[in-house]
């Protein structure tokens, strides 16, 4: 890779990471409160999906991990790092597998990732709290993951069509 391409890639990834952090912060301050405790739209995942489809899985994983770590450092705490990290890693693994199979479009990959993210966070909560009662919240999170995964997937699909590939 030439120096120009390398610098361009770093610049693009930096902008996308900043956008993901901004979206995380906006959700953190509850500008998009959906009225259900613990449920967020997941706008930051738009950047991760965009990078996955445009630049590849390695860059997308890097953006995802950096976003989770920096969001916890800037806006959260150690538990948000644990929950966010579990959700991000599990959902990314599933999104990567589905993306690689080309069986689903962006929206399908996004929905699967959102649902997986929520379920991984429930597993982390059950482990931290030592109780399986948290799984009673699963139906709510399954519905939320499906709805908001579709929303973020649709937004990403539009972005992939509208934003030039060389940008």
Condensed to tens digits (0 to 9), the pLDDT of residues 66-109 reads 999 999 999 989 999 999 999 999 999 999 999 988 888 999 99
Higher confidence at residue 101 or residue 5? 101
User: Measured at the alpha carbon of residue 72, what is the angle toward residues 86 and 34, in degrees to the nearest 5?
Assistant: 80
CB atoms under 10 Å from CB of 105, counted, come to: 14
CB atoms under 10 Å from CB of 150, counted, come to: 15
pLDDT score for 37: 77
CATH number of 3-162: 1.10.1760.20
Q: Do the Cβ atoms of 128 and 82 come closer than 8 Å?
A: yes
Please determine, for residue 31, whether its predicted confidence score (pLDDT) is greater than 60.
no
pTM of the prediction?
0.91
Q: Do the Cβ atoms of 111 and 152 come closer than 8 Å?
A: no
Sign of CA dihedral 40, 124, 85, 78: positive
- Dig out the tokens for 57 from the structure: 């899985």
pLDDT per position as a tens digit, 7-18:
889 999 999 999
Three-class DSSP labels, 55-123: HCHHHHHHHHHHHHHHHHHHHCCHHHHHHHHHHHHHHHHHHHHHHHHCCCCHHHHHHHHHHHHHHHHHH
């Amino acid at each position: 890779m030439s120096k120009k391409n390398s610098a361009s890639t770093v610049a693009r990834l930096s902008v996308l990471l900043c956008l993901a952090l901004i979206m995380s912060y906006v959700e953190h301050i509850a500008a998009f409160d959906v009225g259900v405790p613990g449920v967020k739209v997941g706008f930051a995942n738009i950047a991760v999906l965009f990078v996955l489809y445009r630049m590849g899985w390695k860059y997308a994983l890097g953006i995802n991990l950096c976003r989770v770590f920096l969001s916890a450092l800037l806006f959260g705490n150690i538990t948000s790092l644990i929950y966010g990290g579990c959700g991000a890693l599990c959902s990314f693994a599933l999104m990567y597998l589905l993306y690689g199979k080309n069986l689903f479009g962006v929206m399908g990959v996004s929905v699967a990732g959102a649902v997986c993210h929520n379920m991984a966070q429930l597993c982390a909560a059950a482990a931290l709290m030592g109780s399986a009662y948290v799984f009673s919240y699963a139906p709510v999170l399954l519905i939320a993951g499906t709805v908001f995964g579709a929303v973020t997937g649709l937004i990403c699909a539009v972005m992939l069509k509208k934003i030039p590939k060389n940008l």
